[in-house]
């Protein structure tokens, strides 16, 4: 299966290179005619420039079909590596600097530890540093991502001996056919589930509080009626009696 995937990737890359070579000259001609330049943000938007070279305040143009197809090709080339554990208290910028030496790194997402564990650690250990449990790293080339995951998995982070993370070990895996939008959809789904659970708990708490207040109000009103009847010398309100025979309690010696 891995050989088949590699052959498919080589065919895709070969086709992409041919399309880029054919469309390169066309893109240059279009840019010269329109007097537009692509900004450095990588989002595919363009800015129109006037004769003085300054960007005008006009609205951003929508993506053309060629630029949209180019963006899709770049997106298809990306690969995501999953890190099951993060070295203690490692931040995003440190992780990026360690992995950037192997290839171009795009987006990084680290999942923080549970809030209850963080509060306990801050309370008893006086440690306020941020700790992450797992993470996802996006590489611009999925071949590079696959090689990095295979080479670094279960190996030491390395570096200088006095480095804080030199003795920690990588735990990573390349996620085949996994793109960044799959991760964002999962995070959005989990967030919605969490908010829905909180809303349900709040609704249940409000319902219980309302029921308690109603019963408390009824008990208060009944007590006031009894107090008035007692002051007037009237008989007490009739109490309800059970219509069935009550079984007596068994003693220990009888059982």
- What is the chain's Cα-based Rg? 34
Residues 171, 85: contact at Cβ < 8 Å?
A: yes
Backbone angles phi, psi at 133, to 5 degrees: -105, -35
DSSP 154: T
pLDDT attached to residue 61: 77
DSSP 49: B
The pair of three-digit structure tokens given for residue 58, joined into one six-digit string: 């006009």
pLDDT attached to residue 70: 85
Cβ–Cβ contacts within 10 Å for residue 128, how many? 8
The pair of three-digit structure tokens given for residue 227, joined into one six-digit string: 């107090």
Q: Mind listing the pLDDT tens digit of every residue in the chain (255 residues)?
A: 555 555 555 555 555 554 554 444 444 444 444 443 333 333 433 333 344 444 445 567 787 888 888 888 888 899 999 999 999 889 999 999 999 999 999 999 999 988 888 888 888 877 888 889 999 999 999 999 999 999 999 999 988 888 888 889 999 999 998 999 999 999 999 999 999 999 999 999 999 999 999 999 888 988 888 888 888 877 666 666 667 776 777 776 665
Residues 56, 48: contact at Cβ < 8 Å?
A: yes
CA distance 209 to 205: 6
pLDDT attached to residue 78: 92
Residues 141, 106: contact at Cβ < 8 Å?
A: no
The pair of three-digit structure tokens given for residue 198, joined into one six-digit string: 């909180």
Closest CA to 35 of 48, 54, 52: 48
- Torsion of the alpha carbons at 158, 162, 167 and 169, rounded to the nearest 10: -50
- Torsion of the alpha carbons at 121, 122, 126 and 129, rounded to the nearest 10: 90
Question: Is this prediction's pTM over 0.75?
Answer: no
pLDDT attached to residue 205: 93
């Amino acid at each position: 299966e891995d050989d088949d995937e590699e052959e498919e990737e080589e065919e895709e890359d070969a086709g992409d290179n041919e399309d880029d070579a054919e469309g390169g000259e066309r893109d240059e001609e279009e840019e010269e005619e329109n007097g537009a330049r692509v900004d450095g943000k990588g989002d595919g938007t363009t800015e129109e420039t006037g004769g003085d070279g300054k960007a005008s305040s006009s609205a951003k143009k929508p993506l053309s079909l060629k630029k949209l197809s180019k963006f899709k090709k770049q997106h298809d080339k990306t690969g995501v590596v999953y890190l099951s554990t993060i070295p203690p208290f490692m931040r995003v910028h440190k992780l990026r600097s360690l992995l950037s030496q192997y290839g171009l790194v795009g987006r990084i997402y680290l999942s923080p530890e549970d809030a209850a564990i963080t509060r306990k650690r801050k309370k008893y250990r006086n440690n306020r540093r941020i700790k992450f449990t797992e993470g996802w790293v996006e590489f611009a080339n999925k071949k590079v991502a696959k090689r990095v995951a295979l080479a670094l998995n279960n190996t030491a982070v390395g570096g200088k001996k006095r480095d804080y993370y030199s003795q920690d070990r990588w735990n990573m895996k390349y996620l085949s056919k996994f793109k960044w939008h799959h991760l964002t959809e999962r995070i959005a789904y989990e967030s919605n589930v969490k908010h829905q659970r909180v809303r349900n708990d709040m609704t249940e708490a409000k319902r219980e509080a309302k029921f308690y207040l109603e019963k408390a109000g009824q008990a208060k009103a009944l007590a006031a009626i009894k107090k008035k009847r007692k002051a007037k010398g009237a008989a007490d309100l009739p109490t309800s009696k059970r219509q069935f025979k009550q079984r007596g309690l068994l003693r220990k010696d009888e059982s």
